[in-house]
Amino acid sequence: MNHFIWYPGHELLLKDIVRAENCYLYDSTGRRYVDLESGVWCTSTGHGNPRILRVIAEQAAQISHTGFGYSSPVVEDTALEMLSLLGLEGGKCVFLCSGSEAVEYGVRVAQSIADRPLFMTMTDSYFGAYGSASLRREDEWFCFDWAECAACSLTGECDERCAHWRAIPFEEIGGFLFEPGSSSGLVRFPPERLIRSIVRTVRKSKGLLLVNEVTTGVGRTGAWFGYQHYGISPDIVAIGKGIGNGYPVSVSALSRVVVERLGSREIKYAQSHQNDPLGAAVAREVVRVIREEKLIERAVELGRVLGTGLEEIRVRTGLIKDVRARGLMVGLELVDDAEHSFTIRTHRELIRRGFVVGRRPGVNVLRLDPSLTVERGDIEAFLVALEDVLREQETK
């Protein structure tokens, strides 16, 4: 494995995975592993989902790629389904290839129509590998540290009583880009009161609400989208990862109001696979599979099983500092030293025992984002293995 470049900071622990089916990975010897990370949080309906594979084959046999001067009806059909799902009827979509692209496209749209120079976001948010939201230059972005807000003792809406609130330059903010839960992989959920107060204040001056649903969308948190837990209605939504079930497609969706404000302005963004029929067809089928097979309801039920089990292990062992969970998005913060050696050992041993979970580089957090199709028995087996591994690593 010397001739390709791996993800920075991540250990390559399994080098010969040759096959995958639903939530199972198989190496060249036939050994099976339970993938509780769903790839990079992408295979929302399981590896090799037969319905998705069928649509890929059928659409690829018809037309997979279009050009600058022609399109295919499947793109329009999928756009209509996505807008309906989001409650953005009358808006527009663009189909791209990655979550980073979907976020950046939405930011460029918002910046082109905003009345004020700054956009606001949280300090722990992650918005992709490039572009304005990734760089977050001080002349474009105000980054708010909400760490103390989680334990705020004030009641009612956030307002001028709070010094942190007074420090937000709302008079300069033209929009708020919200990531409802991933926190750069740490899985932290900002308080509903804080988010609703920010949205209310930004909207008073016709500011825009953008939501990054790349990791929290498509059923991951026990709702279609993470923002639905906050009772807010976005103007622009970026969707990625799970919407393609492993196929590289993403969506940037704009509301009717945004489209009207945009008018005839052109967004200076184009790439070769923009609005490809194949990607659109995959996204449409993923939505249909989740809806028809009631996978979101399933995520709620299994999320309770996983979250309750982890909390019980936390109490019994004293080796888990915090369990942060919403649906099937879970962050497990371990009690560890500054070098995170306990977390590293636990991660390696879980994989050795056949359970693939994520480890956030440089911190004492393990992350679980299983497919919505994960079996309850596999979750229960993981809980047993985790407690055994924690106790075993404690003695080393």
Residue 322 sits in a domain whose CATH number is 3.90.1150.10
What is the model's pLDDT at position 150? 82
Q: Which of 292, 312, 335 is the last residue of a domain?
A: 292
Q: In this structure, is residue 280 part of a structural domain?
A: yes
**Buried b / exposed e along 175-191 (16+ C-beta atoms within 10 A):** bbbbbbbbbbbbbbbbe
With tokens 């600058």, the residue in question is: 68
Q: What is the predicted pLDDT for the residue at 102?
A: 96
Domain endpoint, select from 228, 258, 292: 292
Closest CA to 356 of 50, 6, 32: 32
Residue-wise burial string across 211-227, b where 16 or more C-beta atoms lie within 10 A, e elsewhere: bbbbbbbbbbbbbbbbb
Give dist(CA 152, CA 174) in Å, integer: 26
pLDDT at 198: 96
> Which pair of tokens denotes residue 151?
């334990």
Of 242, 266, 292, the position where a domain reaches its end is 292
- Asked whether 218 and 226 are in contact (CB, 8 A), the reply is no
284 shares its domain with 375: no
| Torsion on CA atoms 221, 226, 229, 231, rounded to nearest 10 | -160
168 and 245 assigned to the same domain: yes
Same domain, 316 and 331: yes
The C-alpha atoms of residue 67 and residue 228 are separated, in whole angstroms, by 35
Residue 11 in domain: no
Res 91: pLDDT: 98
Residue 39 and residue 65 share a domain: no
Residues 278 and 299 both lie in one domain: no
pLDDT at 135: 84
Provide the pairing of β-strand 92-96 with 118-122: unpaired
Residue 320 lies in a domain: yes
Q: What is the predicted pLDDT for the residue at 134?
A: 82
Same domain, 266 and 386: no
Token couple for 330: 């879970």
The pLDDT of residue 164: 87
> Phi and psi of 323, rounded to 5°?
-115, 115
Question: Is 62 a domain residue?
Answer: yes
pTM of the predicted protein model: 0.95
Residue 224 domain boundaries: 51-292
Shared domain check, 266 and 132: yes
Domain count for the chain: 2
Confidence (pLDDT) at 9? 85
Q: Is residue 303 part of a domain?
A: yes
Identify whether 107 is part of a domain.
yes
- Is residue 236 domain-resident? yes
Same domain, 58 and 193: yes
In this structure, are 101 and 148 located in the same domain? yes
The pLDDT, as a whole number, for residue 153 is 79
Nearest by Cα to 213 from 193, 175, 241: 241
Same domain, 201 and 288: yes
Whether residues 146 and 281 share a domain: the answer is yes
Sign of CA dihedral 112, 117, 120, 126: positive
- Both 354 and 257 in one domain: the answer is no
Can you give the CATH number for the domain in which 119 is found? 3.40.640.10
Mean pLDDT by 10 residues, the chain (396 residues): 85 95 98 97 98 98 97 98 97 97 96 94 85 84 89 82 90 96 88 94 95 96 97 97 97 98 92 97 98 97 97 97 96 92 96 96 95 98 97 82
Residue 33 domain flag:
yes
